[in-house]
C-alpha cells in the first residue's frame, strides 16, 4: 500500500477570479465533470448520523441543484431517512478522480415538497417505480428470490395503470452552510478553498493542505 502513490498535476484552484458565490464555482466544476464524460458525475457520498451520533455513509445520485440546495430521492424509511428524521444535517462529497478534484458540502436537510417528489417519481422508469413499491429499503429480507417475488407482485398489481408516488418515498434537499473545493496539486500542496455562510452572504478562505 505504501507504494500506491500519485502526483496531482492537472490543474490549480487560484484565488484570482474565484467566484464570490460557491454555487457558481460548483456549477463550473460540475459542467467540466460532465464534459469530461465521467461515469455518473452526479454521484455523491452522503454522510448522515443518527440521534446517538453514529455515522453512516453511502453513495446516492444528485438529481437537481440550485442556490436553494442539492436534491436527492430515497425511501424515507431507509437508514438514511431514519438518520435524517433524528438529526437533519448531512455532508456530501463529490469525488471526481479523473479531474483530481473533490467538493465537500455540509448543511441542513429537509424533505422536498410532496409535489416535487411526485413530479420526479412520475418521470422515473416504470421499473424503478415498481422497485420503490417492492423494496422496504434497509430492512432485512430472507432472500433474493423473496425480493424478486415482491417485485413481480407489484408489477402484476399495477398492470395497466399509472403508479403513484408512495407515501414512504420522496426527496430531500441539502441546504449548504459550508463548501470546500479541493484541487490536487504536486507535492501534496493541494489547493483548498472553503466557503462559509454568514447570514445571506458567503465568506471564503484558503485552507492549508
Q: What is the CATH number of the domain that holds 87?
A: 2.30.110.10
Instruction: Enter the pTM of the model.
Output: 0.94
Model confidence at 96, pLDDT cuts 50, 70, 90, reads very high
| φ and ψ of 174, to 5 deg | -95, 120
> Which residues, 6+ apart, have CB-to-CB distance to 44 below 8 Å?
59, 60, 61, 62, 70, 72, 92, 93, 94
What is the percent of the chain where pLDDT is above 70?
Answer: 100
Average of pLDDT values for 68-96? Answer: 98
Within a domain: 176: yes
Within a domain: 3: no
Indicate whether 152 pLDDT > 90.
Answer: yes
Within a domain: 173: yes
Within a domain: 147: no
Within a domain: 178: yes
Residues 4-50 have pLDDT tens digits of 888 889 999 999 889 999 999 999 999 999 999 999 999 999 999 99
Model confidence at 54, pLDDT cuts 50, 70, 90, reads very high
Cα dist from 50 to 11, 17, 56, 106, whole Å:
38, 40, 8, 16
Within a domain: 132: no
Within a domain: 134: no
Q: How many domains does the chain have?
A: 1
Q: Determine the structural domain holding residue 44 and report its residue range.
A: 22-124+163-206
Within a domain: 107: yes
Cα–Cα distance measured from residue 91 to residue 77, given in angstroms and rounded to the nearest whole number: 19
pLDDT score of 178: 98
Amino acid at each position: 500500500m505504501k507504494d500506491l502513490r500519485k502526483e496531482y498535476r492537472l490543474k490549480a484552484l487560484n484565488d484570482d477570479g474565484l467566484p464570490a458565490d460557491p454555487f457558481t464555482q460548483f456549477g463550473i466544476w460540475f459542467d467540466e465533470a460532465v464534459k469530461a464524460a465521467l461515469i455518473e458525475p452526479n454521484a455523491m457520498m452522503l454522510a448522515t448520523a443518527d440521534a446517538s451520533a453514529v455515522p453512516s455513509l453511502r453513495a446516492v445520485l444528485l438529481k437537481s441543484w440550485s442556490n436553494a440546495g442539492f436534491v436527492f430521492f430515497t425511501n424515507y424509511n431507509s437508514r438514511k431517512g431514519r438518520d435524517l428524521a433524528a438529526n437533519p444535517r448531512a455532508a456530501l462529497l463529490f469525488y471526481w478522480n479523473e479531474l483530481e478534484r473533490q467538493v465537500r458540502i455540509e448543511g441542513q436537510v429537509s424533505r422536498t415538497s410532496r409535489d416535487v417528489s411526485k413530479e420526479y417519481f412520475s418521470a422515473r422508469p416504470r421499473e424503478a417505480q415498481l422497485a420503490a413499491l417492492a423494496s422496504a429499503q434497509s430492512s432485512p429480507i430472507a432472500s433474493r428470490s423473496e425480493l424478486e417475488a415482491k417485485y413481480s407482485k407489484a408489477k402484476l398489481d399495477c398492470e395497466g395503470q399509472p403508479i403513484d408516488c408512495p407515501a414512504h418515498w420522496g426527496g430531500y434537499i441539502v441546504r449548504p452552510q459550508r463548501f470546500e473545493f479541493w484541487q490536487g496539486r504536486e507535492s501534496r500542496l493541494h489547493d483548498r478553498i472553503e466557503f462559509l455562510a454568514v447570514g445571506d452572504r458567503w465568506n471564503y478562505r484558503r485552507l492549508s493542505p
